[in-house]
Amino acid sequence: MSDWIQKIKTNENEALKEIYLLCREECLVWLQKDFNCSLDDALDIFQMSVMILYDNVISGKLQYLTSHIKTYILGIARNKALELHRSRKSIVSDDILNNIASYITSEDSEVSEAQIILASQSLDELGDPCKTVLIQYYYHDKSMDEITTLMSYKNSDTTKNQKYKCLKRLQNIYFSHTSKSLEH
């Protein structure tokens, strides 16, 4: 087994290039197959995994490998893939707002006037600060940092948490209107 830690410390560029070539293809295939990642997500996860390995070596957090380098990289990639899936599950409600946005902005004839009205009413009923946060994020493409400053929140984590709560509220309002309209 090669001493990858020493290789990274003495010639990081060459070591990272070797690790990249040794692990890349297997990791990408594995992430796509076992975690249903897109090629772009798999590439991002793999590159992040290599950078985490590098950071762990340089910071002294990783001083020796007890497994093959591929096993270490795949372990990091696994954790990052699971983290990605968890974050996507928690933002599934983002799709609701995207649907609402498409209803409001769409010229598609399949979108009924009732759906547009319902989407707009739900957003109006949501009220501030939620309405402002969601509009800034989805319609004006503002970053969490920009919204944090605009809304005078403590930090971007607070803003992300607020956005999540607002999406949940919007989802509840939208679906309560939808179920009421189905009853009539």
> How high is the pLDDT of residue 89?
58
| Residues 138-163, mean pLDDT to the nearest whole number | 88
> How high is the pLDDT of residue 174?
78
Total residue length of the chain: 184
The CATH class for the domain spanning 4-90 reads mainly alpha
Model confidence pLDDT, tens digit, residues 47-103:
999 999 999 999 999 988 888 999 999 999 999 988 887 776 555 445 555 555 554
CA angle centred on 60, ends 55 and 65, rounded to 5°? 85
Mean pLDDT, the chain, rounded, equals 81
Question: Does the pTM exceed 0.85?
Answer: no
Question: What residues does each domain of the chain span?
Answer: 4-90, 94-183
Place of tokens 């970053």: 143
Name the CATH topology of 94-183.
Answer: Arc Repressor Mutant, subunit A (1.10.10)
Annotate 70-101 with b (16+ C-beta within 10 A) or e (fewer).
Answer: eebbbebbbebbeebeeeeeeeebbebbeebb
Cβ within 8 Å of residue 96, ≥6 positions away? 167, 170, 171, 174
| Residues 162-180, mean pLDDT to the nearest whole number | 80
